């Protein structure tokens, strides 16, 4: 429990953790069953649904799966890392092996390094040196990626290009762990795509380009403005009071400061923890509060939210 919580606050959080729901983790188990069952039902029922209804159902399911994988890497629904890895390894969303996402994201949780280019693996900022060395085209892409529309359209392709560059370097250097991870993920992905080709009307290219990429693009909207540069680490993380459809898809990660302060607290308890001490959370964030994703769309659909260049690095 963070040291800045008073005794009453600690007791409130502990009470959440001791509830039957938290001890059994039944909501997360239901989510896992729902996503696995839903994916199978859409694939096997795609002939009746048709390609486009199947697509419209599968995209949000994959967004939800990415959120479920996030819960798994933070120790839910079991306390055993290997068990959660097995539960989360299905390559439904295609592009990111579970272990790569897990290791990178846990590194991101070092709050003292948040937003720092080259240190925080999820930073969307460039150092002054990197910015000076960028071409006009590269700078334009980074500025576009700082708008909501640009993030939605360019975020996924830019992230996948960066992923390919980083992982190819690891493979070229002969890293055994990287080879094992990608061979395992690749084999499972091929098996999944063969299953889709055999038992559904969805073409493989359609699943890859028109389902998995749009799902990743929607997930990119969640991370569009989760963090900002600030001298105080606790004021780098947002509190986004989003509406229920987004909270459901993102499993309440919009309450992002609560999650960073209490990373072991399950998704279904984040809103409760936030509501119990809302004013204190807002004060702790330095007023880093967003009134839902609609506010971001209205204000920053084509207007950059801040500079791609980190102000302190």
- Joined together, the tokens standing for residue 31 give 């989510």
Question: Which parts of the chain sit beneath pLDDT 50?
Answer: none
Is 88 within 8 Å of 72 (Cβ atoms)? yes
Domain limits of the chain?
A: 7-300
How much is the mean pLDDT over the chain?
A: 95
pLDDT, tens digit (0-9, with 9 covering 90-100), for 207-261:
999 999 999 999 999 999 999 999 999 999 999 999 999 999 999 999 999 999 9
> What's the first-to-final CA gap in the chain, in angstroms?
30
Report H helices in 74-97: 81-88
Prior bond to 77 cis, omega within 30?
Answer: yes
- Joined together, the tokens standing for residue 71 give 């819960």
Quick one: pLDDT at residue 276?
Answer: 93
Quick one: pLDDT at residue 3?
Answer: 62
Quick one: pLDDT at residue 1?
Answer: 57
- Joined together, the tokens standing for residue 223 give 């991370």
Strands (E), 164-267: 239-240
């Amino acid at each position: 429990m963070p040291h800045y919580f008073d005794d009453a606050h600690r007791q409130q959080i502990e009470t959440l953790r001791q509830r039957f729901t938290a001890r059994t983790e039944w909501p997360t188990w239901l989510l896992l069953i729902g996503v696995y069952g839903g994916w199978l039902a859409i694939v096997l029922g795609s002939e009746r649904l048709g390609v486009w209804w199947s697509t419209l159902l599968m995209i949000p399911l994959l967004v939800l799966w990415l959120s479920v994988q996030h819960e798994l890497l933070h120790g839910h629904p079991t306390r055993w890392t290997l068990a959660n890895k097995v539960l989360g390894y299905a390559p439904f969303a295609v592009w990111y092996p579970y272990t790569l996402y897990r290791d990178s994201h846990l590194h991101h949780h070092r709050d003292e390094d948040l937003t720092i280019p080259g240190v925080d693996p999820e930073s969307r900022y460039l150092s002054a040196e990197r910015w000076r060395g960028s071409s006009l085209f590269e700078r334009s892409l980074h500025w576009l990626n700082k708008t909501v529309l640009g993030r939605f359209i360019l975020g996924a392709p830019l992230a996948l290009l960066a992923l390919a560059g980083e992982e190819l370097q690891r493979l070229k250097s002969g890293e055994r762990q990287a080879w094992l991870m990608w061979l395992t993920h690749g084999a499972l992905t091929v098996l999944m795509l063969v299953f889709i080709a055999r038992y559904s009307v969805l073409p493989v290219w359609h699943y890859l380009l028109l389902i998995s990429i749009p799902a990743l693009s929607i997930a990119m909207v969640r991370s569009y403005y989760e963090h900002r540069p600030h001298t105080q680490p606790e004021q780098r993380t947002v509190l986004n009071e989003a509406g229920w459809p987004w909270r459901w898809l993102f499993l309440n990660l919009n309450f992002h400061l609560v999650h960073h302060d209490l990373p072991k607290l399950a998704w279904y308890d984040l809103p409760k923890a936030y509501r119990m001490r809302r004013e204190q959370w807002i004060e702790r964030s330095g007023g880093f509060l967003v009134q839902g994703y609609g506010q971001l769309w209205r204000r920053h659909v084509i207007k950059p939210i801040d500079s791609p260049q980190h102000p302190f690095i």
